[in-house]
């Protein structure tokens, strides 16, 4: 399964749509918050792609959908925005939560800085931001390739 991962779109739907086009074809898009309403609009714009999303620190008044655990091809994918795990200061809390959930992958956003790292048996991935990158990065998103045997991933640098 090919999965697109985006975060921190911040109502810049045209950039988010272009990111999905550049990642395509994908079977699923995971949106990691800020702004979760963008995920709803994107799902309408791409009706043939399934979307899952969580809320970020800029998503007020819509409930408390701040994390999800998905089972995809027998692999557990933990998705969160990251602000509740102090990801601007390190990944220890995020890693501990992923371990607690027996997750194979922990996806987060919030920092707008792309990251792909393995800590223990957990793949820690931040797709960066498709709208407002930080840390000297370009606009980015990530792609996961998951099947019953393996997890692979890569960063996509978006063309301007």
Confidence at residue 29, expressed as pLDDT on a 0 to 100 scale? 98
Determine the pLDDT at residue 64: 78
Question: Using CA of residue 8, residue 14, residue 15, residue 21, what is the dihedral sign?
Answer: positive
Residue 60's pLDDT band (boundaries 50, 70, 90)? confident
Integer CA distances (angstroms), 139 to 18, 67, 112, 154, in order: 11, 24, 9, 14
- Binned at pLDDT 50, 70 and 90, residue 25 comes out as very high
For residue 122, give Cα distances in angstroms to 30, 94, 102, 139. Answer: 18, 10, 9, 25
Average pLDDT, the chain: 94
Helix/strand/coil for 36: helix
pLDDT greater than 80 at residue 67: yes
> Reduced to 3 states, what is the DSSP secondary structure of residue 135?
coil
How much is the pLDDT for 159? 79
CB atoms within 10 A of CB 45: 12
Q: Each residue of 73-124: pLDDT tens digit? A: 999 999 999 999 999 999 999 999 999 999 999 999 999 999 999 999 999 9
Domains of the chain in sequence order: 2-157 (3.60.21.10)
How many CB atoms lie under 10 A from the CB of residue 22? Answer: 15
Q: Write down the pTM of the prediction.
A: 0.96
């Amino acid at each position: 399964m090919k999965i697109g991962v985006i975060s921190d779109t911040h109502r810049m739907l045209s950039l988010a749509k272009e990111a999905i086009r550049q990642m395509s074809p994908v079977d699923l898009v995971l949106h990691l918050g800020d702004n979760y309403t963008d995920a709803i609009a994107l799902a309408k714009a791409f009706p043939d792609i399934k979307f899952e999303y969580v809320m970020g620190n800029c998503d007020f008044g819509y409930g408390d959908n701040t994390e999800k655990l998905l089972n995809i091809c027998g692999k557990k994918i933990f998705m969160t925005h990251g602000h509740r795990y102090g990801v601007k200061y390190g990944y220890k809390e995020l890693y501990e939560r992923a371990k607690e959930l027996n997750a194979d992958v922990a996806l987060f956003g919030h920092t707008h800085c792309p990251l792909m790292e393995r800590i223990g048996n957990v793949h820690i991935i931040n797709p960066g931001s498709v709208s407002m990158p930080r840390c000297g990065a370009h606009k980015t998103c990530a792609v996961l390739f998951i099947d019953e045997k393996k997890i692979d991933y890569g960063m996509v640098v978006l063309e301007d």
